[in-house]
Amino acid sequence: MAITFYAYPKCGTCRKAKKWFADNNVEVNEIHIVENPPSKEELAQLVDHSGLPIKKFFNTSGQKYRELGLKDRVATSTQDELLELLASDGMLIKRPIVTNGHEVTVGFKEDTFEETWK
């Protein structure tokens, strides 16, 4: 099954993940998360398949997150409002997001990648 890798080329964590895929001969379909962010519907599926709360999909260390003062909004907004917000700007999304349509990982942890994508 094809693996989709949402990444931002300037992101150090994304580069580490990309290197891990290359080192482990795992072929991925890389999508530039800022130029082509996942749609609201795609994000809803990613959140659902990941088993993670939606707040884990926010790039909380990002400048845009701080500029928009999202810390308080994330705690009080509905899931639908949060999906809308994430879909509106790829810089708000924690990266990389990797999926095969069933499993989803957010961020890069080598042990999680070993377990999920090898």
Active site residue ranges: 11
Helix (H, G, I), strand (E, B) or coil at 118: coil
**What whole-number distance in Å separates Cα of residue 33 and Cα of residue 8?**
6
Tokens of 7: 């990444």
Partners of 105 in the beta sheet?
98
Total Cβ atoms within 10 A of residue 108: 21
* Secondary structure letter of residue 108 according to DSSP: -
